[in-house]
Amino acid sequence: MYELKKRAEDLITRLNSYAESVDMVKKRKKLEELQIQSSEEGLWDDQDRAKKLMQELAEIESEVSLFDKIMGEAQAILELAEEEESAQGIEADLEKLEKSVDKMELSSFLSGKYDKKNALVSIHAGQGGTEAMDWTSILMRMYLRFFERRNWKYEILEENPGEEAGLKSVVFRVEGPYAYGFLKGEAGTHRLVRQSPFNADALRQTSFALVEVLPELEASDAADIEIKDEDLDWQFYRAGGHGGQNVNKVSTAVRLTHKPTSIVVTSQTERFQEQNRRYAMDLLRAKLWAREQERQQLEAAGIKGEYTPATWGTQIRSYVLHPYKMVKDLRTEVETGNTDAVLDGDLDEFVNAEIKLA
């Protein structure tokens, strides 16, 4: 029982350290303030303000409640260990709590301004023709399975299929707690090495795909990003693929060009034009925000240059399927020989290591 008691004490120590790192006292005070504001008369006269307030209230309330619940359970387990209750039951409960604290501690690393936001993820095939397009579709499936494992919702905003197989590019919106914070480290070039399924001689082939991750921003989030109506060129066309028969009969798809920067975004998978227009504006706003962030970073470093998004030179991970099996992250050095699991969406070890590295 001594070992279980020691683990329970360590767990409480970790919880106290977590509370200090996220300033739980300040969060409790903020929660009280928001609870008072949420009951103010006339709150919903300004629906945008009310929605933001209620969302912030729900987030802080959930975080504080979860912390209190885990702390209470940890203290109860410590008491049982001190009284030398059944070790088997205590150990099982302790393991569950330790996993919960692991998740809480990880979230403390996600303190960026937009880490809590939903994410806009794009995957683009690199050079290599059909091979690269097939790799793009494999990566898409990997990420969609990862989202499903986390119970995140996602919508495919645009798919650009390859001529023979795979995808030239795909864009999807991801909705979940800290979606952008968890996914932003996936931005960069992903390299695949395998025997080609498209070559009769099964030659070894190297393929590349570029992943771009942006936060989904509302107009109020990027108030310094000015988008003028006269700078926008809207084009509407009939889309193919997902969305039902209406998509193919009516010009629901949207292509939006920002004239000053020549940034082009599209959205085509929603059934109604208005939805595609909104998603196109969200994509444009995010890309302009990323462009501004890059400009500020270059300026701070005394460098002048053109904005480039997650570039082809930023290779972050290799997936080798032949002549041996290995997935290795080049930044964190995390690696595994279980390539099947990774390509099936088991990315937690890679994503978590990158979050802690940042």
Q: Where in the chain is the domain with CATH 3.30.70.1660?
A: 121-358
Q: Where in the chain is the domain with CATH 1.20.58.410?
A: 2-107
47 pLDDT above the threshold of 70: yes
Determine the Cα–Cα distance for residues 268 and 253; give it in Å rounded to an integer. Answer: 4
CA distance 235 to 250: 13
What's the predicted TM-score (pTM) here? 0.79
Q: What is the 3-state secondary structure (H, E, C) of 83-99?
A: CCCCHHHHHHHHHHHHH
Query: Could you read off the pLDDT of 53-85 as tens digits, one per residue?
Result: 998 899 899 999 999 999 999 999 888 887 765
In whole angstroms, give the CA distance from residue 136 to residue 317: 14
Residue 243: per-residue pLDDT:
45
Give yes or no for residue 145 having a pLDDT over 90.
yes
Question: Which has the higher per-residue pLDDT, 241 or 156?
Answer: 156
Q: What is d(CA 264, CA 272) in angstroms, rounded to the nearest whole number?
A: 20
pLDDT at 237: 84
Least confident span in 86-100, 140-154, 314-328 = 86-100
Q: Does residue 250 register a pLDDT over 70?
A: no
Using CA atoms, how far apart are residues 186 and 214, in angstroms rounded to an integer? 11
Whether residue 307 is predicted with pLDDT greater than 80 in this model: the reply is no
User: What local confidence, expressed as pLDDT, does residue 118 receive?
Assistant: 93
Query: Which has the closest alpha carbon to 356: 18, 101, 108, 16?
Result: 108
Mean pLDDT for the chain overall: 87
Q: What tens digit of pLDDT does each residue of 180-226 get?
A: 999 999 999 999 999 988 877 778 889 999 999 999 988 777 767 88
* pLDDT at position 27: 93
The answer to whether the beta carbons of residues 179 and 152 sit under 8 Å apart is yes
Is the pLDDT at 344 greater than 80? The verdict is yes
User: What is the topology classification, in CATH, of domain 121-358?
Assistant: Alpha-Beta Plaits (3.30.70)
Closest CA to 232 of 172, 190, 198, 283: 283
Q: Residue 247's pLDDT is what?
A: 42
Crossing angle of the two packed helices 47-82 and 24-38, in degrees rounded to 10: 140
**Does 310 score more than 60 pLDDT?**
no
Which pLDDT belongs to residue 245?
A: 42
H or E element that contains 195: strand 188-195
pLDDT of residue 219: 75
User: Under CATH, to which class is 2-107 assigned?
Assistant: mainly alpha
